[in-house]
Amino acid sequence: MKLLSTKVLIILAFFAIYIIWGSTYLWNKIAVTALPAFFLAFFRFLCASILIFLIAKVSGKKLGITKKQLKNSIFVAFLFMVSGNGLFVWALKYVDSGFAALLASTQPLFVLLLMRLIDNKKMQLKSIIGVVFGILGMYLLVSQHELVTDDDTLLGILLIFTCVIGWSYASVFVSKADLPKNHLVSTGYQMIIASVMLAIVSFSLGEQWTSPLTWNYDVQWSMFLLIVFGSLVAFTAFNYLLKEVSTEKVATSSYVNPVVALLLGWWILDEELTTQSLIAASILLVGVYFITTRKKQNS
């Protein structure tokens, strides 16, 4: 019964990081048109962390944290949320949401390479095939001259790749790091720490802080979805999966998210959806199949 329950939780968690996170590119794109990027991320993670700690407290979870767990949480919060989210959202000013999501699909490649370098973990044949498909899909994507139009676009691409590398390393780190055992509590600490760092960055850059009451309806709704689903639900699911399944399987969300983001960006924001982008997305999904169906290694 417990095994069945675990399987169901894993399936639901994958749905969260595949579909919900795929939607966050759209929500961030809408919000960043009206709000400064680092203030947006600060507000999102501050509200989400408060909700998470309230839920954890009501459900009787222990909120204690050791000094080592705190240090690890600070390191992870910076890579996941300050760089991986705040900087990424800033880059959305220069590139379409679907295009950005497709660029982020390189994460499984970086995860596998980092695991090879850090853990000397050999890549299985199916993983290698999956990475090859991922690289091919990426080439088809970034070789589209109609999408990569100017220096601002190139800057956005460079920033996104920087975020993805940091996120990939953090994913490998979290799978072994000493963090609070409860995934909800661990997520809460990461978010509250990140909100402090994001606030400092936002102040340093002179970003203008505004009241949610002054935001337009689309921005308010997008922020609500980012806080409740993108942060509370999906990020908790992400932390759960990093402890339950292999890191490279969790990283496959970066292959599926772009497909969701691409379709939503085209449908809601009228972003350009080329035939080549659709082919690239299909190839990336094939890569997901090969990585997620590899045999489990004995350690």
Between the CA of residue 56 and those of 29, 52, 291, what are the distances in Å?
A: 30, 6, 34
Compute the distance between CA of residue 77 and CA of residue 39 in angstroms, rounded to an integer: 16
Q: Which two tokens stand for residue 199?
A: 């606030």
CA atoms within 13 A on the CB side of 182: 16
Task: Quote the pTM value.
Answer: 0.78
Domain range for residue 278? 2-292
209 falls within a domain:
yes
Please count the structural domains in the chain: 1
297 falls within a domain:
no
CB 84 within 8 A of CB 263: no
Nearest to 23 by CA among 219, 226, 245: 226
214 falls within a domain:
yes
105 falls within a domain:
yes
6 falls within a domain:
yes
79 falls within a domain:
yes
Residue by residue, pLDDT tens for the chain (299 residues) are 555 578 888 888 998 888 998 898 889 889 988 899 899 999 999 999 999 999 888 888 888 899 999 999 999 999 988 988 888 888 888 887 777 877 777 777 777 777 777 766 677 788 788 878 877 877 777 676 665 566 677 788 888 888 888 888 888 888 788 988 888 888 899 999 999 999 999 999 999 999 999 999 999 999 999 999 988 888 888 878 887 888 778 877 777 787 788 888 888 888 777 788 788 778 877 876 776 665 555 43
286 falls within a domain:
yes
Name the DSSP class of 79: I
Between the CA of residue 242 and those of 168, 263, 298, what are the distances in Å?
A: 12, 27, 17
